[in-house]
Structures are given as C-alpha cells and as structure tokens.
Amino acid sequence: MTVARLTIGRPDDWHLHLRDGAALAAVVAHTAAVFGRAIVMPNLKPPVRTTAEALAYRERIRAATPAGAAFEPLMTLYLTGTTPAAEIDRAVASQAIIGVKYYPAGATTNSDAGVRDLAEAGAVLERMQELDLPLLVHGEVTDPAVDTFDREACFIDRVLAPLVRRLPRLRIVFEHATTREAVAFVKDHAHLAATLTPQHLLLNRTAMFTGGLRPHLYCLPVLKRESHREALIEAAVSGSPQFFLGTDSAPHGRSAKEAACGCAGVYSAHAALPLYAEAFESMGRLDRLEGFASQHGPAYYRLPRNHGTVTLVREEWTVPESYDFGSDRLVPFRAGETLNWRVAEDAP
Ligand code: NCD
Ligand code: ZN
C-alpha cells in the first residue's frame, strides 16, 4: 500500500557543511526549515580549531538563520596535530561542542590542517574518552598508493581498528559510511555509530559516469559499487540505532564543480528528507524513517528528541536547476529532476 503522508518527529542532520559568509547565508535556510538541529562541520578556511572559534562561528550561523526558525547548530572542533588536551576541557565546559572531527590530512575539502598521524593526538583522544566527547571520523586513508575506492576499507584496518583497541571506550561516529566493511565494523562495536548520506543510499558509482562525467555527483568518500550501496540501505532501514541521518550536504559553487579539477561535495540540503524518504520507500520501509531521522541520533549523542513534527506529502515537485550562491550558482542534487516527496510544515 502506498501512503500519501508521513508525519515524523522533527529530524536532525548529524553531518552538515554550512560554510561561512555569503555561502552560509545562501544555504542555511534549507536546513533550518526542516531540521531541529545539525552538526556543523568545522572545515572552514582556516578551520574551526578552538571552542572560542566554534562559539563565534555559531553566532554567525545564528545571525544568518531566518528569523523564526527554531534551528540549533551543534558545533564541532577540527582536530589538528597541535590541539591541546586542555581544549577538550574547554569544549566540554562550553556545552556547545558535540564532538571533535578527525580529517586525515589531505583526505578531502579543506583538510590540509588535519592530522597526519593519530599518534600525534594521543593525549587529546585520551581526554575525549575520559570526558566522553565523541570523535567524528572521515574514514579514508590518504596513502596515494591505495586505490580511491579502497580507502575507506583500508582506513578501518590501518587506523580505526587500532584506535578502537587502544581507546575502547571512546565513542566514534563513522561519518558518511560508504562501504559494507564500514557497516560491518560499526555493527561489531556497540559504542560506535555511522551517518549515511542520501547520495550513498540512492546511487552507486556508475551514476557518476552515466551519459558522461557528472561532477555534481562527485563527493568524498566517492560513491561505491552497488553491493556497497545495498549494505548501506539495509543498515539504514534495519532499525538499528547505530545508523542515523547525516546528509554531508557540502555546497560548492558551480564554477568549482564544473572544472578541470572539480572539488568534492554534493549539495542535498534543499531536499534532504524527500531524498531519504525515496530511499526508505524503495525498501518498503518508510515506517523506519522516523527512527533513522529523528530518534537514533539524539539517543547516541544523549540529547532529547526535538519537539514538534514534520510531514512528508507525496506530491511531485521539480528541483530548481540552481540556487543563488553568493556571486556563483549552486547546483543541487537532482537539479531539474522531479521528486515524489515534499515537506509540508506542521504547526510547531
Ligand atoms: C566535504 C566538503 O566539501 O566540505 N566534501 C565532500 O565531498 N563530502 C568534505 C567532507 O565531508 O569530506
Ligand atoms: Zn562532510
């Protein structure tokens, strides 16, 4: 039976890039219209490395958020080789920092300041375990000898498994998991969790090359083959509280994407919930969307669920070809295509 409406508790986005300045002003309304909270990634230029910088960034996000939106940005710190353990104390005391993001240096957009070797951050990670502040990982090795499509699985063997052995109580979120190996590793460790993006649930790597090269489908970690997508969607609809919504919506101007060396990132905030609904419906499991979008994340991060609800209605709409993006344009996921689900605002 096909349903025409679905009302769920107000969801959260547990992995989001909002950028800064004109880009921030261009995109934040999409997220704030639907989500109660979002974990905002710290990979600005320069990165958000201290609690003070994160609090200042939070103010800029609040100032750019449309008046009346009940949206709370949850902040992260960017782990570097020189982050002092005392920064973890300041982060926890502020009650504004939800976790620390680990980017292997050079793994993705604005990750040059990331950690080259996790051993550099030993004292910080121990303090995080002690104070129970989660580590959010971009799970890819950067070794140029490792094939791009194998970098996530290799990260598990070389970095994550040893880390979990060394700090067995540190809570770790495997951000934007893209492989069956990541799903299996998370399932095997009850104190770990993973976020899953709409594009990795809906597409495999062939989509990047269908009819020609599709730069707007290029993100990191890169889309994988179909058997991995199947493992991800099965995890998403399984009802396991270890898997929850994190769009990894990552806006880049059209000129940076449609370039000889195009940058990584898919923008999905304009249609995040409809895209997840499509993925869950493809498995006949729309009934599991609420857990994934609105309940598992707060449980993992030990936060209350949001007040209020949002309703998805089965109603076709066409995604714009592009959105305003400062002096450039932003080409969203599924630009110009028709989606079957639309978000209708509920009374607060
Ligand atoms: C992200 C970005 O553009 O900031 N890009 C991406 O492809 N996902 C960085 C990241 O999360 O890896
Ligand atoms: Zn990201």
| Per-residue model confidence as pLDDT tens digits over 124-149 | 999 999 999 999 999 999 999 999 99
Whose CA is closest to 252, among 202, 216, 205? 216
Q: How many CB atoms lie within 10 A of CB 227?
A: 10
pLDDT of amino acid 218: 98
Q: Which residues sit opposite 76 in a β-bridge?
A: 99
pLDDT of amino acid 171: 98
- Compute the distance between CA of residue 127 and CA of residue 169 in angstroms, rounded to an integer: 11
Is 274 a pocket residue for ligand 1 (Cβ < 6 Å)?
no
For residue 336, what are the domain limits? 5-343
* CATH number for position 244: 3.20.20.140
Is 256 a pocket residue for ligand 1 (Cβ < 6 Å)?
no
What is the full per-residue pLDDT of the chain (348 aa) written as tens digits? 688 999 999 999 999 999 999 999 999 999 999 999 999 999 999 999 999 999 999 999 999 999 999 999 999 999 999 999 999 999 999 999 999 999 998 877 778 878 888 888 999 999 999 999 999 999 999 999 999 999 999 999 999 999 999 999 999 999 999 999 999 999 999 999 999 999 999 999 999 999 999 999 999 999 999 999 999 999 999 999 999 999 999 999 999 999 999 999 999 999 999 999 999 999 999 999 999 999 999 999 999 999 999 999 999 999 999 999 999 999 999 999 999 999 996 655
**Strand, helix or coil for residue 323:** strand
> How many domains, in total, are found in the chain?
1
pLDDT of amino acid 114: 81
Q: Please name which ligand lies nearest the alpha carbon of 220.
A: 1
CA dist 129 to 214, 287, 325, Å? 41, 35, 39
In b/e form, how buried is each residue of 249-278, taking b as 16+ CB within 10 angstroms?
bbbbbeeebeeeeebbbbbbbbbbbbbbbb
- Compute the distance between CA of residue 33 and CA of residue 185 in angstroms, rounded to an integer: 34
176 within some domain: yes
Q: How many CB atoms lie within 10 A of CB 281?
A: 19
Q: Please name which ligand lies nearest the alpha carbon of 247.
A: 2
Catalytic choice (157, 248, 287, 324): 248
CA-nearest residue for atom 11, ligand 1, is 248
270 within some domain: yes
- Compute the distance between CA of residue 272 and CA of residue 115 in angstroms, rounded to an integer: 30
Whose CA is closest to 319, among 247, 264, 256, 269? 269
348 within some domain: no
pLDDT of amino acid 344: 94
CA-nearest residue for atom 9, ligand 1, is 109
Is 217 a pocket residue for ligand 1 (Cβ < 6 Å)?
no
Predicted structure pTM score: 0.97
Ligand 1 atom closest to Cα of 251? 3
